[in-house]
Structure 1
């Protein structure tokens, strides 16, 4: 189920385009940066980033809203992956899964930033992987 009521709304995209210029991608870039900074802040900045994504979702063209949806999914999946890794550290494999989760997070953020630069939605928004 799509949690964004404006997903693929061509009328809204046309209205946004008629308002002039390309949409500002500063906030989505900030959210990706906050997700990445969460690696060293224990997730605190990622929490701030997901709040920003929730606030800004629905205010731009559908491709930009897909970035916010992707960022929100990335946050919640990261919470799951890092929690599982924390539990698995009790049997020592958690250090490997934590490293895999870090790599996963970096790849998702880089893919998202690349999509922003190309002014298109990120690929595979609904995937649990990259």
Structure 2
């Protein structure tokens, strides 16, 4: 894919990488996930097309993850909620690592609107 290289692309790529890292840290300190999604919203319009797929993927990761977390917390009174929360942790790690790997290879996310991985 031939993309024109923008002057701010290296900084935008680093920002996308920071957001993935913030999501992973968010497993321990929840506020970093909120910081990450705000950063993704702020930077998505100025990014090149392939980086926009990463920002879209990150934004969807936050909101879908919030839904999984809400359902898991709500259902934690019964056993199924704990499995949903465990699934959310694994899901978040896989999506973040997948995003970091694609970002390091300068590739777009193939299906940024996916609900799974």
Normalised to the residue count of structure 2, the TM-score between the two structures is 0.90
Structure 2, unaligned stretches of length 5 or more? none
2:31 match:
44
Where does structure 1 lack aligned partners over 5 or more consecutive residues?
A: 1-9
Task: Pick from 11, 27, 40 the counterpart of residue 15 of structure 2.
Answer: 27
What is the number of residues matched between the two proteins?
115
- Judged with a 3 Å threshold, the aligned counterparts in structure 2 of structure 1 residues 88 and 31 are, in CA distance, closer, same or farther, namely same
Aligned CA RMSD, in angstroms, stands at: 1.8
Cα deviations by residue, 1:89-118 (Å, 9 ceiling, x for unpaired) = 011221111011100000000010011011
Structure number having the greater helix percentage = 2
The verdict on how the C-alpha distance between 1:83 and 1:44 changes in structure 2, with shifts beyond 3 A counting, is: same
State the TM-score, normalizing by the size of structure 1: 0.82
| Separation in 2, partners of 1:109, 1:71 | 8
Cα displacement (A) at 1:69: 0.7
